[in-house]
Structure 1
Amino acid sequence: MQSSVGVCSSSSSNWLFRFSAAAAPLLPSSLTFPISKSSSSSLITLSTPSLISSPLRSTASASAADSSHLTEMASNDAQDPRLPRISSAIRVIPDFPKPGIMFQDITTLLLDTKAFKDTIDLFVERYRDQNISVVAGVEARGFIFGPPIALAIGAKFVPMRKPNKLPGEVISEEYSLEYGTDKMEMHVGAVQAGDRALVIDDLIATGGTLCAAIKLLERVGAQVVECACVIELPELKGREKLTGKPLFVLVKGA
């Protein structure tokens, strides 16, 4: 559980106080009340800094409904200098893999060790206290970001793969593409009922692969806590297809 330090001040001295992040939404910007000191009364004011200004500070106890407004874009947090560095490290390649596509190339982000570390750190900071037991990485670039996050927060990593890639018994979920359909598969027994799962990929576009991953996890009784991506293409409205599941992204695509 995160906590924050505020300042307690009177006309003669200052004190420090500490409270949990979960209490922050219940506190006004300041609290004033009387105290007694050596038979004389005075007023004391407590400054209560906002803990919810950044979506990176939501807590594990928040429900999906209560935290939906907190799980938008990390890029809304203008105070974090890591986000511009991450955004600038992503290369955009026009007309790949076909005309009209503006491809968001994260291979340049991976070459920038500082930006890559910042990316992992932002996710770890968000999820380390949310009791995540499974990080499910969507093929293929979810395999890049998922394992270091899983290791850092003490969760197991489960790959969500295209058909005929996993050697053991699998369950499958079909999803729609722009032209036709595809499937996503997961090993039977990799995820248990009651597991708390984070679904991660590099990018959300139409949302099809994330939806398939959510359905696979829920079919075996796991709770999908959130979906997380480095990049979002908002114009493709993938967020709207996630059946109400929270989505957290770092930056918008160019």
Structure 2
Amino acid sequence: MVELTEVSHGYGGQEVLTNLTIRFQENKITAIIGKSGSGKSTLLQLINGLLRPSKGQVSVFNQPLNYNQTTALRLRMGYMVQGTGLFPHLTIAQNIAIAGKVRDNSQPGARVNELMELVGLPSSYQPKYPYELSGGEQQRVGICRALYLNPPLLLMDEPMGALDPITRQDIQQEIVKLQHLAPRTMLLVTHDMREAKKLADFILVLDRGKVQQFDRASNVISEPATQAVRDLINASLDS
């Protein structure tokens, strides 16, 4: 479904990702983990079509990415940015259903209700605005919006970073439940190896824009391929 072939990308002459060749497993959760500045968010933006690689090819849904048709592409993928990414002038219901304005949806209210119930938000929040919700509640709204069109591909950039530990655990459990009920390809950027271990089938470790290891989660944890991977595991699991 998602494949990168010899992909590189940089900013201002400095390379952020270098010669990445990766094929993500379909209908599995892959955690993308690494230090700050390792290129994790840039990788998601390349897959989403927000960025073009300076070298190499990105293929999504088994086709080379067409940068002239990114709107149609994004209707088939959910994308959660760091932070909430909610529109402050729209209500909670409008924020969740905004993708329905691009693709016709005859029952937006029913879908909003379903998703809010799924993540534990009361329906009474629908007419509220983002500023009236806590940070954790806003993050749940972001998850609802990403799932609104039931996309086969879900890109999540630190989706639980702002949540308190109890809410974070609840959302993790919801992700596991969602994946069990309706498997989809999920690429999850996280800084937490414990979270990656809990949620992911596969783990991709990046360091300074290069792949250090890409394997089943259990293999990465038990058999780290490089010192950079070992250091990351030790720092995450010992904290």
Compute the TM-score of the two structures, normalised by the length of structure 1. Answer: 0.33
- Which structure has greater helix proportion? 2
Q: Which one has the bigger strand percentage?
A: 1
Structure index of larger Rg: 1
Question: Per chain length, whose mean CA-contact separation is higher, i.e. which structure has more relative contact order (CA < 8 Å, sep 6+)?
Answer: 2
**TM-score, with structure 2 as normaliser:** 0.35
